[in-house]
């Protein structure tokens, strides 16, 4: 049972966590903090929040668990404010998509309290943002990756793991560097491709006609380009080395496709497409 859960940054991830824990009867009070007062007030109206505060210091007062769900670029300032105000026994976790930068920020600001910090990343979400996007079943059957530090207290990791399991999540542990490389490939690169494609097509002279005739495949592929631009800007900066390496590799793959098309090499195109299809069907299926 969590007596007081503090969520800093009440969007899709934080609101869904609150709703899942409330539905399970696993939290007594949820307090929120964020810069958008209208969003916080809507969260209170929807029952996501029991109340909200106008400062981080007030929000974390007497908290058992603090969840940091802000863009990566804001993490260090938030950790600094938490460190100066949170109870000494409060557990801290985050939901950031790139763990290296988050850990650096926590190490810089949390001091002796770093043992209470459990870095985390729920592999769940969508292109919608804000408190109204949240729903209690978001984490059912989804993975949550935890990347504890050598200094992280084992009991702290166990309690954060239990919190996510209550929400229906499956827990996996990765080291920080491996997490960031894997997520660069499976999440960050696809978002960059979607953003770049939509941006490129919108600059074409006939872009209105292109979007008018876009079919389901285009909509499916570019759906994630509706995601929060601030969040993904910060992801690019935070996980830039791994992401740039993958972008360059992908450019090489596109060059291979272009060369095969230009050469009229039907066999090479069929080989490439067949292998991609078999791997997609084998690894992901019809999800």
One domain, residues 92 and 108: yes
Reported as a single tens digit per residue, the pLDDT across 15-47 is 999 999 999 999 999 999 999 999 999 999 999
| C-alpha span between 128 and 225 (Å, rounded) | 11
Q: Model-level pTM? A: 0.89
One domain, residues 186 and 157: no
Assess whether pLDDT exceeds 90 at residue 69: yes
Point out the domain boundary residue: 156, 174, 192.
174
Q: How many domains does the chain have?
A: 2
Longest dimension (CA), the chain: 68
One domain, residues 128 and 27: yes
In this predicted model, which residue has the larger pLDDT, 258 or 220? 258
Reported as a single tens digit per residue, the pLDDT across 90-99 is 999 999 999 9
Average pLDDT, the chain: 94
Which residues lie below 8 Å from residue 223, measured CB to CB, with a gap of 6+?
Answer: 127, 194
Residue (of 72, 69, 66) closest to 98 by Cα position: 72
| C-alpha span between 32 and 40 (Å, rounded) | 7
What pLDDT score was predicted for residue 286? 61
Contact 276, 257 (CB under 8 A): no
CATH number reported for the structural domain that contains residue 49 in this entry = 3.40.50.720
């Amino acid at each position: 049972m969590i007596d007081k859960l503090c969520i800093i940054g009440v969007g899709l991830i934080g609101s869904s966590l609150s709703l899942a824990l409330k539905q399970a009867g696993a939290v007594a009070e949820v307090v929120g903090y964020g810069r958008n007062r209208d969003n916080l007030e809507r969260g209170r109206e929807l029952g996501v929040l029991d109340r909200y505060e106008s400062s981080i210091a007030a929000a974390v007062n007497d908290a058992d668990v603090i969840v940091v769900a802000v863009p990566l670029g804001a993490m260090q300032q938030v950790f600094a404010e938490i460190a100066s105000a949170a109870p000494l026994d409060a557990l801290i976790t985050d939901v950031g998509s790139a763990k290296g930068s988050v850990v650096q920020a926590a190490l810089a600001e949390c001091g002796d309290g770093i043992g209470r910090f459990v870095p985390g990343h729920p592999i769940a979400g969508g292109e919608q943002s804000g408190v109204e996007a949240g729903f209690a079943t978001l984490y059912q059957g989804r993975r949550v990756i935890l990347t504890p530090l050598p200094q992280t207290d084992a009991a702290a990791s166990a309690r954060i793991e239990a919190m996510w399991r209550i929400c229906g999540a499956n827990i996996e542990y990765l080291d920080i560097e491996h997490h960031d490389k894997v997520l660069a490939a499976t999440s960050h690169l696809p978002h960059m491709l979607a953003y770049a494609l939509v941006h490129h097509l919108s600059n074409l002279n006939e872009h209105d006609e292109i979007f008018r005739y876009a079919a389901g495949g285009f909509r499916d592929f570019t759906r994630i380009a509706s995601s929060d631009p601030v969040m993904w800007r910060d992801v690019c900066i935070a996980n830039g080395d791994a992401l740039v390496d993958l972008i360059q590799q992908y450019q090489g793959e596109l060059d291979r496709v272009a060369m095969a098309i230009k050469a009229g090499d039907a066999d090479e195109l069929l080989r490439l497409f067949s292998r991609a299809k078999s791997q997609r069907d084998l690894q992901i299926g019809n999800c």
